[in-house]
């Protein structure tokens, strides 16, 4: 097993050197062909996906989690569209970030280069397979994928199609690879390959992230949970606040940028909460509130929120609700219980907005919009490899640029240091 992993990583490293020197045209041609291949093989992918869905349902997985796993034909087309989007994006490699001319005549250019070999460890969403391959390829990185066993059939189907196309279009062997064996020890072995793998991106739940961070000798960019908040300020346009909160919770509850906790300013709570909560309950959302929330909503069915609820990423139609005194208390709550992913304030007051934007130290902080917009595509980056909850290297949606490093190229005419 060790020698298998070592060989796979060495192949990836070698491929990464060749990939780094590939021009945009060659990469885009392959990406477009990959998109076509996905569409042409949609029935095969859907069939393989159905196996995963069936076994997930048999295991009694929640509806929201099954939703993350599902690949309809529309979903497959969306994957292909993502690849086409990536093909249309500017190649980040070779881009000049900055040019400095020094008094001694040295010309210093800061130039984007690929990172090298990227290991991506993810859980249930099979479109991650295709997005990661597309983004890594375009940014000149070799990638090693390790998907969750729940999506194994879907992931391998997608990989097979894309890998075959990559070979047909002359991409270096080993540029993309997938670990099919579900043995956990393989991941542990991969995480020791610091000389060959340059970056690890784990996307998933707490235990996965913790395990990877603990074992890795390779830099890690965590794609951790989203405990996202919306704070409805006393000056909020309440009808706007209703729509934003409803969207943030209900539109797609199984994803990390969905709202998990709603914080409501005391002064408008009585006016805002009962109708808001009713709308949620009518949409099938389970509400967990403080005593104060429960009293205010009279006979509506609201469970008492426990301390653990404030930390919870439900990824489901469940929402915790709390009444706060002011923006300060909302910010304190978010900084204590949140995961620094995406948080929003709904307010008409520019001072409250500025305070919230400044003091909430999350990757994405919103005024008057749904947290659901935290997404590479929505940000205009094309597909994303995920949403970083780290502060090092990349934060928030990670697109092509975030998958690059840089180097300095210095042109001299014989300069020496005095």
User: Which residues lie near a second copy (CB under 8 A)?
Assistant: 17, 20-21, 100, 102, 106, 108, 113, 115-116, 194, 198-199, 213-214, 217, 219-221, 237, 240, 243-244, 246-248, 251-252, 357-359, 361-370, 372-374, 378-380, 390-393, 395-396, 405-418
The C-alpha atoms of residue 142 and residue 15 are separated, in whole angstroms, by 6
Nearest residue (CB) to a second copy, 44 versus 379? 379
**Nearest distance from C-beta of residue 283 to a second copy, angstroms:** 14
CA-based angle 167:204:367, to the nearest 5? Answer: 110
Instruction: For residue 204, give the nearest of 387, 4, 47 by alpha carbon.
Output: 387
**Nearest distance from C-beta of residue 153 to a second copy, angstroms:** 29
Nearest residue (CB) to a second copy, 148 versus 386? 386
Nearest residue (CB) to a second copy, 39 versus 369? 369
Nearest residue (CB) to a second copy, 17 versus 50? 17
**Nearest distance from C-beta of residue 50 to a second copy, angstroms:** 27
Nearest residue (CB) to a second copy, 1 versus 409? 409
**Nearest distance from C-beta of residue 29 to a second copy, angstroms:** 21
Identify whether the C-beta of residue 290 lies closer than 8 Å to the C-beta of residue 305.
yes
Pair of tokens at residue 186 = 């393989």
The C-alpha atoms of residue 23 and residue 33 are separated, in whole angstroms, by 16
Q: In whole angstroms, how far apart are CA 158 and each of 27, 31, 49, 54, 366?
A: 18, 14, 10, 18, 35
The C-alpha atoms of residue 335 and residue 310 are separated, in whole angstroms, by 11
Q: Where are the beta strands (DSSP E) in 117-156?
A: 117-121, 142-146
**Nearest distance from C-beta of residue 362 to a second copy, angstroms:** 7
Q: Which helix (H) or strand (E) holds 354?
A: helix 350-359
Nearest residue (CB) to a second copy, 45 versus 364? 364
C-alpha count within 13 angstroms, C-beta hemisphere, residue 37: 21
**Nearest distance from C-beta of residue 127 to a second copy, angstroms:** 17
Nearest residue (CB) to a second copy, 106 versus 306? 106
Nearest residue (CB) to a second copy, 159 versus 340? 340
**Nearest distance from C-beta of residue 78 to a second copy, angstroms:** 14
Nearest residue (CB) to a second copy, 33 versus 228? 228
CA-based angle 45:190:24, to the nearest 5? Answer: 60
The C-alpha atoms of residue 331 and residue 354 are separated, in whole angstroms, by 12
Give start and end residues of each alpha helix (H) in 225-306: 238-250, 266-282, 291-296
**Nearest distance from C-beta of residue 180 to a second copy, angstroms:** 28
**Nearest distance from C-beta of residue 113 to a second copy, angstroms:** 7
Pair of tokens at residue 418 = 């005095």
3-state secondary structure of 158: helix
Pair of tokens at residue 281 = 């309950």
**Nearest distance from C-beta of residue 389 to a second copy, angstroms:** 12
The C-alpha atoms of residue 362 and residue 219 are separated, in whole angstroms, by 21
The C-alpha atoms of residue 360 and residue 342 are separated, in whole angstroms, by 10
Which residues does 60 contact at the CB level (< 8 Å), separation at least 6? Answer: none
Nearest residue (CB) to a second copy, 108 versus 281? 108
Tokens 């390790």, located at residue: 146
């Amino acid at each position: 097993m060790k020698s298998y992993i070592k060989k796979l990583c060495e192949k990836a490293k070698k491929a990464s050197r060749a990939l780094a020197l590939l021009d945009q045209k060659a990469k885009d041609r392959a990406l477009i062909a990959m998109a076509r291949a996905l569409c042409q093989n949609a029935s095969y992918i859907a069939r393989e996906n159905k196996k995963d869905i069936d076994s997930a349902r048999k295991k009694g997985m929640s509806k929201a989690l099954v939703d993350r796993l599902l690949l309809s034909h529309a979903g497959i087309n969306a994957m292909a569209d993502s690849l086409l989007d990536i093909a249309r994006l500017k190649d980040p490699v070779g881009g000049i970030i900055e040019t400095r001319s020094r008094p001694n005549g040295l010309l210093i250019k800061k130039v984007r280069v690929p990172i090298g070999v990227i290991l991506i460890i993810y859980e249930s969403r099979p479109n991650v397979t295709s997005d990661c391959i597309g983004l890594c390829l375009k940014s000149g990185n070799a990638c090693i994928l390790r998907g969750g066993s729940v999506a194994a059939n879907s992931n391998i189907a997608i990989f097979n199609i894309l890998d075959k196309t990559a070979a047909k279009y002359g991409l270096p062997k080993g540029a993309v690879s997938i670990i099919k064996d579900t043995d956990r020890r393989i991941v542990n072995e991969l995480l020791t390959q610091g000389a060959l793998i340059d970056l690890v991106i784990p996307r998933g739940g707490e235990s996965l992230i913790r395990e990877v961070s603990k074992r890795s000798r390779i830099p890690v960019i965590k794609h951790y949970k989203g405990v996202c908040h919306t704070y409805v300020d006393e000056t909020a346009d309440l009808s706007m606040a209703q729509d934003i909160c409803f969207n943030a919770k209900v539109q797609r509850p199984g994803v990390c940028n969905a709202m998990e906790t709603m914080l409501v300013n005391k002064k408008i709570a009585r006016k805002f909460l009962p109708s808001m909560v009713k709308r949620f309950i009518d949409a099938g959302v389970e509400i967990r509130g403080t005593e104060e929330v429960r009293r205010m909503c009279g006979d509506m069915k609201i469970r008492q929120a426990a301390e653990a609820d404030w930390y919870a990423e439900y990824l489901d139609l469940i929402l915790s609700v709390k009444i706060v005194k002011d923006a300060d208390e909302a910010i304190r709550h978010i900084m204590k219980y949140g995961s620094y992913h995406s948080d929003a304030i709904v307010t008409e007051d520019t001072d409250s907005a500025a305070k919230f934007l400044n003091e909430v130290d999350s990757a994405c902080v919103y005024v008057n919009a749904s947290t659901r917009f935290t997404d590479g595509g929505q940000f205009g980056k094309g597909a994303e490899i995920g949403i970083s909850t780290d502060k090092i290297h990349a934060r928030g949606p990670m697109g092509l640029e975030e998958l690059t490093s840089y180097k300095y190229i210095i042109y001299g005419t014989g300069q020496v240091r005095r």
